[in-house]
Structure 1
Amino acid sequence: MVSAEAVPPAAVYVVGLSVLQPAAAPVAYQPDGLNAWESQLWYQARRRSGVSQWLFNRFGTSTDNAIPVSARLRDADCRASLRAIEQACCQAFASLDRQQRQRIRCERTALIYFDCWGESALFETDVSWRDALSLDVLPASIVRDYNIKEFSCKVRGEHQGFLLALRVAIDQLNSGSIDTVLLCGHYRSLPLMVFSQHSAASVRAAKGTTHISVERSAALILRKAAGEGAALHLSDYFLLSGQPKLAAQQLAQRWQRHWTPGCCALLGATHTSAAMLTLEQAALKIMPLPWHALTTTYGDSGCINPLLALLHLPSVRIAANNQHPQLLVNALDGAGAGWLMSIWPDAREKSSWR
């Protein structure tokens, strides 16, 4: 265990944040004969993962009860998700004061866009070429509205999409070539892709398990200005052994290396599979820590799961005399590797610490 320390010099600060999700309640998936491929993957995912019920909460889902549930979930309008990204960016900038907004518009700003599936327009229904470019390359409206000229890119990383994009943002800000990064993206809860992932499960979940898949769009404004928001720092990408017992020991050692006396909680933002949950539980037996799985509270949002730790900050108990409060986010990718993300809450919100 290392000693308590201040925020590392390479950390970046979240000065603006917005995360949006559909307002409607999740809908239970019901297979039908309209898409044999999807129905087959649903059957395989249910048999191999042990999940008995699948709930989906998607942007742009039709409310016409005459349309089968599976078709409504499959054909959700992607434009609603793109509009949610635009709204998240707008809300993130609206959370800044006027001077901050003006300063950012006059400085060097980069756009980093992320998603989970990469070229997902192939799985969308009635998508135009403009929408396909916004989904698979860059959202043109955001590039235009925020006058992005310095640097822009899209990061595809499946369940690690947000963390890989955060790594690029940290490198850009620490290089001195960029003053502000607008980091935005979304998770499209495509039933076909969700079932495909879980059909490869190696460990079955407990009987009666329900999987809740929630689409979310998010936007963060990141800067190097200390004291303007919560600080983020990302550890190096680490590999674990293929042997479960040794992998649990390695994971516990990794936690111990980054756990400080100021740490308040370990938040699990791992790939939602029984195998990864079993690995985390085995590591917790070696090194018991105050642990909470974010997906049990917020549902599964794929690559956005680690980002949900920022929403969970108000729920974490932080002692008033804790000089360097810190949270550790464990994010395993489901392929024997992962990241640890450290969060230092904004000291200006100390009055709300519990």
Structure 2
Amino acid sequence: MSVEEMQLTPLRPASADELQAQPEQRSNTLALVGLSVLQAERAPQRFEPRWFRAWEAQLYRKAARRTGRRQWDFSRFSQDGGLDAAKSGYRDTLTAVAQAAKQAVAAAEASCGRRSARERMALLYFDFWGQSSHLEQAFNWRDSFDLDVIPKFILRDQATEAFSCKVQAGRGAFIQALRMAQSLLHSGAADSVLLGGLFRSFPVLCFAEALSSNAAERAWLGRGGQHNAPLVERAGFMVLRRGEALASARQPGLLLGAPRYLQAPAGREAAGQWLGERWAEQLPERRALVYGGHYPSSLLDQVEAGAVAAAGEHWVYENICRRFGDSGGLNPLLALQRHAERKAATADTPPALLSLSDSQGGTWLLRGE
């Protein structure tokens, strides 16, 4: 399958055969050799509806009623935001994107040595909302291009010469980019891949997404859970190479397997039992870590925690949204960063499994060790 066919876009969603296809385990392993995630320095600010933003206020009241969350907290990249959680500062956002990419590449060079002039690096970029420069009130077309298409300053600063693109937005963007990275690296089209993106917490869009997730969760689990996390803007990138790169790395890295897609059954008890069985297939070891909570919901937390409790003391569960706040499509990078820190601190850290469930029961499983 070509690189273009592996790219999942709104015009051509993944087919059932592509989602179920399982490449050979060893041939598709990836080495994570550099990782950086930056977040807004401001403390989360409570959202207050304003009379002159009628649509935003209406969605806020509806989201508060449907999700059971009365206080919505936002942490945003901004210099001029003041006490208004709805204001944004996109200049700080672009600065954070550039810094996160630079730090990830620097970490990769510290582990694997400086890049040679012949090394071909690809950039796979994603954000959560897609084209949103009109909400940022961008000053010129150059900033709009960086926000809506792809940050051209990364292409320039990191000298990316291999195939680069922006992938589909949303919570599934990380997995889509990871599958593209596997294809690029193992087909020989690139020597390394800089993969990452940005999460911006526009209140009006966050309320709409919470309402949509709650409705989908009601259809999947019978009722909707409470929205249980603040919304934190983050920029994050990681550098990937072929799996054999870890053998000569100066610092410990993570070995990522091929992501596996499955559909959980409807109902809380059935979904919890199903998750436990699927996790056991991916984690035959006696000790393992499970990172869940891909989207903020108290009900998903209960389902995943119940699956872990049924397995006894074999697994340690951590809910990413509950621990770090919700950062949309960057939540998997937070889980990988958490596991990398554990592995750097303790040599015998057990393998980990990222369980990335959406509000409709679709689940991607990604093993890292």
Secondary structure at the counterpart of residue 229 of structure 2: strand
2:100 aligns with: 88
Q: Secondary structure at the match of 1:211?
A: coil
Which amino acid in structure 2 is aligned with residue 34 of structure 1? Answer: F
Query: In structure 2, the residue corresponding to 1:159 is in which secondary structure?
Result: coil
CA distance in 2, matches of 1:81, 1:265: 32
**Match in the other structure for 1:352:** none
Partner residue of 2:352 out of 307, 322, 327: 327
Q: CA deviation at 1:314?
A: 6.1
Alignment partner of 2:257 out of 230, 233, 237: 233
Which of 181, 199, 202 is the aligned partner of 1:169?
A: 181
* Structure 1, unaligned runs of 5 or more: 1-6, 345-354
1:18 aligns with 2:36: yes
Shift in CA distance, 84/237, structure 1 to aligned 2, threshold 3 Å: same
Give the Cα–Cα distance (whole angstroms) in 2 for the partners of residues 185 and 127 of structure 1.
21
Instruction: Please give the alpha-carbon distance, in whole angstroms, between the structure 2 residues aligned to 1:147 and 1:247.
Output: 45
Aligned to 1:342: 367
Indicate the RMSD between aligned Cα atoms, in angstroms.
2.5
Of 292, 299, 317 in structure 1, the residue corresponding to residue 318 of structure 2 is 292
**Counterpart residue identity of residue 29, structure 2:** A
> Take 1:164 and 1:260, find their aligned partners in 2: how far apart are those partners?
26
Answering whether residue 305 of structure 2 is matched by residue 281 of structure 1, we say: yes
Q: Which string of whole-angstrom CA distances, capped at 9 and with x for unpartnered residues, describes residues 104-124 of structure 1? A: x42121110011111222322
Asked whether the equivalents of residues 77 and 125 of structure 1 are also in contact (C-alpha less than 8 Å), the reply is no
Gaps of 5+ in 2: 1-24
Alignment of 1:23-62 (within 5 A): 23-62=41-80
1:89: Cα distance to partner?
Answer: 1.2
Of 113, 118, 122, the residue aligned with 1:100 is 113
- Closer, same or farther in 2 for the Cα pair 1:336/1:24, shift >3 Å? same
TM-score (norm 1): 0.84
Residue identity matched to 2:230: I
Out of 151, 156, 170, the residue aligned to residue 139 of structure 1 is 151
Give the fraction of aligned pairs with identical amino acids, expressed as a percent: 34
- Decide which moves more: 143-152 or 237-246: 237-246
Pick from 243, 254, 261: which aligns with 2:285?
A: 261
How far off is 1:45 after superposition?
0.8
- Per the TM alignment, residue 10 of structure 1 is displaced from its structure 2 partner at its CA by 1.8
Go from structure 1 to structure 2 and tell me whether the alpha carbon gap of 1:283 and 1:34 turns closer, same or farther (over 3 Å shift): same
Distance 1:317 1:108 in 2: 29
Distance 1:234 1:194, change over 3 A: farther
Q: Do 2:232 and 2:327's aligned partners in 1 also have CA atoms closer than 8 Å? A: yes
1:46 and 1:199 in contact (8 A); partners too: no
Describe the SS at the equivalent of 1:170: helix
Equivalent position of 2:16 in the other structure:
none
Q: Give TM-score, length-normalised by structure 2.
A: 0.81
- Tell me the distance in 2 between the aligned counterparts of 1:109 and 1:98: 16
Contact 2:101 2:236 in 1 (8 A): yes
Alignment partner of 1:309 is 2:335? yes
Cα deviation, 1:222-275, whole Å, max 9, x if unaligned, reads 111133321122422211223333332322221111012164311114211234
Q: Give, in angstroms, the shift of residue 58 of structure 1.
A: 0.7
Stretch of structure 1 that moved more, 312-321 or 78-87: 312-321
Instruction: Tell me how far apart the structure 2 counterparts of residues 235 and 314 of structure 1 sit (CA, whole Å).
Output: 18
